[in-house]
Structure formats: C-alpha cells, structure tokens
Structure 1
Amino acid sequence: MAAITTGTDAAATRAQPRGGSIRRNLLVSRILTYIALGGAVLLILFPVYWMLITSLKLPREIYRMPSLWPQVFTLENYRILLQDKEFLLPIRNSMIVAFAVTIISVLISSFAAYSMVRFRYRFKGLIGRLILFAYLTPTSLLFIPLSILMAQLGLGNSLHGLILVYLCFSLPLSTWLLQGYFRGVPRELEEQGMIDGLTRFGALLRIVLPLSAPGIAAVSIFTFTHAWNELLLALVLTTSESVRTAPLALNYLITSDVLPWGPLMAGATLSSVPLMILYFIAQRFMVQGMTAGSVKG
C-alpha cells in the first residue's frame, strides 16, 4: 500500500512541472499575441494620429521642429481651409456625387445581378464576362474617350457628368458582387412566396433583398468609398471650382514648392470624418456582407 502511494505521489510531482510549463507557454503566447496586435494597431493608427496632430500645429512646429505632440494647439489651419479656401463646397459636392452614385448603382445592379442569377437567357455567360471585363479595364485608358463623350453630351465640367462616369465603373463591380450574395438566398423561398401570391418582382423586394441586406450594405459602402475618394477622373473631367470634389480641392491646395501641410492635413481630416462615421455605423454589416458573398447556392 505504501509503495502504491509513493508511486502516485511521484507521478503527481512529475505532472505539476509539466502543467506549469504549459501554463507558462500559454501566457507567453498570449503576451506575444497582444504585442503583435498592439504593434499592428499602432502601425495602422499612427498615420491617422499624425494627420490629426499636424492639422492642429502652428507652421513653425510643422516645418522647423516636428514632434509627436504640439506645444501649442491651434485651429488656424481649419479656419484657413473653411473660410479662405471654402472647403465646405467640395465636401458638399462629394456628398452629392457619392450618395447619387451609391443609390443609382445599387438600385440598377440589384436588378442586373438578380437576372444573372435567377433567369436563363441567351448570351448570359457572355454578358457576365463583359461585366467583369468592364470592371477590370484600367481607368487610365478611358480618360480621353470619356472626356470627349462627356463634352459631346454637354455634361463636361458638371456633377451630373461626374456621376454618370462614376456609374460606368461602379455598376460592374456592384453587379459582380451582388451575384454572390443573391446566390446565397435559397430559390425555394422565392418559389414559396410566389405560391402564396407574390409576383417575381414582389419576391425580389420582399424576400431576396431583405435577406441580402448585409451584402447590399457592404456593396453600398464600397461604392460610396470609391466615389468619395476618386481623384483622377474628377481631375480630368472638371475644371471649375464650383464642381470640385473634396480630393480634387485638396489637390489644388498645393500651389507652390512649399506644401501647406497644415491646411492639407486639416482637409484630409475633414474628408475622412464621413467615411469613418460610415464604417463605424456599418461595421457589423460589412463583416456579415463579406462572409455572405462566399456562400454558394
């Protein structure tokens, strides 16, 4: 009996160091994970922090003694931007363009994607490839043709023309993405709804679109972000100050060899606020939408 007890105690004694080493390894692994995550967060947020801090600095602190924390906080850069440069007008133009492109693009691409997923007709595969080809076409190849076309249509140097041009690039992407989300909706749900008296259009509105809401929200955010941040097409197609968008107005702040970093960072901060608010509100829909599109029907 004593020998059995002694053997059990010896086994327990050997097990204790092993369990302690496992806990230490888990603790070290957790610490290293938090260090890596903290480093990633700092790497991502530091440009945002530098942009915000620079917008609150005096010129002498920006050019002569750059530091991570300003000695004197000032809103002079924002005053110059809003009063002297009238930056609220480009913000308003960007709002108009981005919201119009997003609403029109999601509306049209919803019907287009639904027809590609649910209906059978000739050349459907070819149409799908053309949609993808239109999305993959480099924007730089279309500057001259689009500018000539907008001039002939009388839409040059206008927000209407800019919205129309942005739709040429956002519609293929929205249609291509929404096809994946609509495939995740079971066809049987639509058939059951039509048995209960719904038309095909009613099934789309009452069944498919509500079930695809996270995907539609994700596509809307992608479309809005692209229209809000786009610079090259706006630079080519618009010339008047009254129709400049926010990225274009920021570009025209650079007028000499010395960059006005204060107003530039203030403008970048103001331009980032709508997108930050949008992504913060729709964060849950973004995650759901990106995962929903991977489901195969």
Structure 2
Amino acid sequence: MSASQADPVPETKKSGSVLDERSKFMLGRVLTYGILVLAVVLIVFPMYWMISISLKLPREIYRTPSLWPQVFTLENYRILIADKGFLRPILNSLLVSTVVTVISVLISSFAAYSMVRFRYRFKGVIGRIILFAYLTPTSLLFIPLSILMARLQLGNSLHGLILVYLTFSLPLSTWLLQGYFRGVPRELEEQGMIDGLSRLGALLRIVLPLSAPGIAAVSIFTFTGAWNELLLALVLVTSETERTAPLALNYLITSDVLPWGPLMAGAVISSVPLMVLYFIAQHFMVQGLTAGSVKG
C-alpha cells in the first residue's frame, strides 16, 4: 500500500521538471531573439539615420529633427555630385583600392606560401618583422612616409598613395594567408608534383584554389582598409583631382556649421560599393573566416 501511494509523487516531480525545462528553453529563446533584435537595431539605425538625413532639407536637419523626412529631396546628392564633383573621388578610391588589393594579394600569396612551405635561415625573424609591421600604428609612420614620398617625387599622386597603402596591406595579407595555406595538406602538392606539376604549378593549381575562401576574405579586408583610409591620404594628397572619397568628405567641412546633408549623402554613396562587395562575397567571407580560425 505504501509503495502504491508513493508512485504519483515521482510523476508529479517529473512533470514539474519538464515544465521547468520548457520554461527555461522558452526564456532562453526570448532572450536570444531579444538580444539579436537589439543588435540589429544598433547596427541598422545609424545607417537609416544617415540615409534619412541625406534626404532632408536643411531646415529639417537643423530645426525640426525627426526620424522620417517630412519632404524628400535629392538636393544634397545634386550638390555633392554636380557642385562638389564627388564622383571623381569615388573613382579615385575605386582605382586605388582595387590596385592595392590585387597587388597585395598577389605578392602576399607568394610570401605566405614561402613562409609556410620552405625552410630557410631567419624565417622566424622575417615572420616577426611582418607581424611587427602589421601592428605598427599608422600615426607613427605618416611623417617619415611623407618625407620619403616627397624625395621620390611620388607625393600628391595616386601612385604614391598606392605604394604607401601597400606597406600596410602586405603584412596583414601575408599574416592572414599563412593560416589558410597551412590548412592545405602538403601531400596534395606532392601528388601534383609527382604527376608533373612544378612548385609554382602546385601553388597556382592546388593551393590557391583550395584557399579561395581565405583569399576572398583577405581581399575584402584589404579593399575595405584602402577604401576607408583617411590619415595617409590627408597627409600625402593635396590636389583636388587626386582626392579619395574619405578625403573629399573631410574637405566638405569648411566652417563651424557642418553640411550634414551633403556629408550624409557622401557617406551613403561611399558605402554603396562596400555594401555591394560584402553582399556578393558574404558566402566566401563566412567560409574564409571559419577556415582561418581553424587552420591558423
């Protein structure tokens, strides 16, 4: 009798524990989605505010701030493009960023491959120098670089700007690509060389294709860094025709009253190429970052 009377007690405890687990699960999901929604708002709202300001009249911007433009206007974009000639800096930034990305990825691929696959004296020292060059702040080098560019007669030119950007992008690209190349089995290259490939052929036909997600991620990081860079361009470029997009936006500020409309319109136009690039390459970005975290 005592055993039969005690049977319902474990069932009650079991049902209570199941309810507790379900409530904890639902609470965890609610907190997770709440945090995700908060993160999305924090990320998207500045972009929305930037676009909203770019579509407002000046009196709305300075007198009646609101989340939604009362009168939509493209006057800020007209001023920026027609009066300020902002398309020329966009093209300059596109040229500089593309050239820097192509040259940096090409050279750093060979450098990273040699660091991973070959054995030679002072390889460890060279690797530390590359890492040190990557970690060196730009603010410590812009004065020596400006003097060097002036003596080489490369100041105030896109060629000099590309050369200077390469000094910062090459160490980062080389350091990142080493992790991806280490993840490619050495046996695949050896098998390819047994079948008749040279060392260069093994790199071009085996290592680089297998490291394509990592190369895509490095390319995007390099392009973004060159596209957004301001300090070196501010020091090295003085001609209006050679300005990059961030530099042209900086020169829009000419008085105590900031031209928020054209500034936000310029920020929107400058963001479009990067948004398109990240949207196209987002799949490679995820694969590249994941591979780098595992292979490095």
Q: TM-score range by the shorter chain?
A: over 0.9
Give the corresponding residue for 1:136. 135
Distance apart, 1:24 and its partner CA:
2.0
Gaps of 5+ in 2: none
Q: What is the alpha-carbon distance in structure 2 between the residues aligned to residue 192 and residue 29 of structure 1? A: 50
Q: Provide Cα deviations, 1:150-182, integer angstroms capped at 9, x if missing partner.
A: 122221111111000100110011111111110
More deviation, 157-166/124-133: 124-133
Distance apart, 1:124 and its partner CA:
1.1
Aligned partner letter, 2:126 = I
Give the corresponding residue for 1:199. 198
Distance apart, 1:10 and its partner CA:
5.4
Q: What is the alpha-carbon distance in structure 2 between the residues aligned to residue 13 and residue 232 of structure 1? A: 69
Distance apart, 1:270 and its partner CA:
0.5
Give the corresponding residue for 2:168. 169
Give the corresponding residue for 1:290. 289
CA contact (8 A) 1:98 1:227 kept: yes
The answer to whether residue 91 in structure 2 is matched with residue 92 in structure 1 is: yes
Q: What is the alpha-carbon distance in structure 2 between the residues aligned to residue 191 and residue 233 of structure 1? A: 44
Q: What is the alpha-carbon distance in structure 2 between the residues aligned to residue 131 and residue 11 of structure 1? A: 65
Q: What is the alpha-carbon distance in structure 2 between the residues aligned to residue 11 and residue 48 of structure 1? A: 56
Q: What is the alpha-carbon distance in structure 2 between the residues aligned to residue 3 and residue 124 of structure 1? A: 79
Q: Secondary structure at the match of 1:294?
A: helix
Aligned partner letter, 1:180 = G
Give the corresponding residue for 1:186. 185
Give the corresponding residue for 2:79. 80
Q: TM-score, normalised by structure 1?
A: 0.95
Name the Cα RMSD after superposition: 1.6
Q: What is the alpha-carbon distance in structure 2 between the residues aligned to residue 150 and residue 286 of structure 1? A: 34
The answer to whether residue 44 in structure 2 is matched with residue 45 in structure 1 is: yes
Distance apart, 1:296 and its partner CA:
4.4
How many residues get paired? Answer: 296
Give the corresponding residue for 1:158. 157
Distance apart, 1:52 and its partner CA:
0.8
CA contact (8 A) 1:117 1:182 kept: yes
Q: What is the alpha-carbon distance in structure 1 between the residues aligned to residue 68 and residue 272 of structure 2? A: 21
Q: What is the alpha-carbon distance in structure 2 between the residues aligned to residue 214 and residue 296 of structure 1? A: 12
CA contact (8 A) 1:54 1:62 kept: yes
Give the corresponding residue for 2:238. 239
Give the corresponding residue for 2:262. 263
Give identity over the alignment, percent: 78
Task: Describe how 1:7-26 pairs up with structure 2 within 5 A.
Answer: 11-26=10-25
Give the corresponding residue for 2:216. 217
Q: Secondary structure at the match of 1:74?
A: coil
Give the corresponding residue for 1:57. 56
Q: What is the alpha-carbon distance in structure 2 between the residues aligned to residue 37 and residue 100 of structure 1? A: 37
Distance apart, 1:13 and its partner CA:
4.3
More deviation, 31-40/19-28: 19-28
Distance apart, 1:32 and its partner CA:
1.5
More deviation, 100-109/132-141: 132-141
Gaps of 5+ in 1: none
Distance apart, 1:21 and its partner CA:
2.8
CA contact (8 A) 1:157 1:240 kept: yes
More deviation, 226-235/22-31: 22-31
Q: What is the alpha-carbon distance in structure 2 between the residues aligned to residue 232 and residue 28 of structure 1? A: 47
Distance apart, 1:284 and its partner CA:
1.5
CA contact (8 A) 1:183 1:295 kept: no
TM-aligned CA distance change 1:295 to 1:40, over 3 Å: closer
More deviation, 160-169/2-11: 2-11
Q: Secondary structure at the match of 1:73?
A: coil
Q: What is the alpha-carbon distance in structure 2 between the residues aligned to residue 175 and residue 28 of structure 1? A: 45
Q: What is the alpha-carbon distance in structure 2 between the residues aligned to residue 33 and residue 120 of structure 1? A: 49
Q: What is the alpha-carbon distance in structure 2 between the residues aligned to residue 290 and residue 18 of structure 1? A: 40
Q: What is the alpha-carbon distance in structure 1 between the residues aligned to residue 138 and residue 126 of structure 2? A: 20
